[in-house]
């Protein structure tokens, strides 16, 4: 409703959906988005489902099994 373009509104919808989905799954939205931005070079259309809020910690552990995810607060 208050976006300059339809593309901007669509993108905002995607981000808002990720934030809302994170909250609904007891995941800190800030930590989730932070990890997505840190690992954006690894995410593509073939593995995007592995980076959804309820799967992203597993994806990070697969990258470095000893390190795990930074947000152990949840």
- pLDDT range class, residue 74, cuts 50, 70, 90: very low
The Cα–Cα gap between 8 and 34 comes to 21
Residue 42 gets the label, from left (phi > 0), alpha (psi -120 to 50) or beta, of: alpha
Give the model's pLDDT for residue 64: 77
- Are the C-beta atoms of residues 60 and 69 closer than 8 Å to each other? yes
pLDDT higher for 66 or 20?
A: 20
Quick: pLDDT tens for 25-65.
999 999 999 999 999 999 999 999 999 999 999 999 998 77
- Are the C-beta atoms of residues 18 and 33 closer than 8 Å to each other? yes
């Amino acid at each position: 409703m208050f976006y300059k373009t339809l593309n901007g509104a669509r993108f905002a919808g995607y981000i808002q959906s990720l934030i809302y989905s994170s909250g609904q799954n007891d995941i800190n939205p800030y930590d989730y988005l932070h990890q997505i931005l840190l690992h954006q070079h690894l995410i593509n259309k073939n593995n995007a489902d592995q980076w959804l809020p309820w799967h992203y910690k597993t994806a990070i552990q697969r990258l470095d099994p000893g390190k795990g995810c930074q947000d152990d607060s949840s």
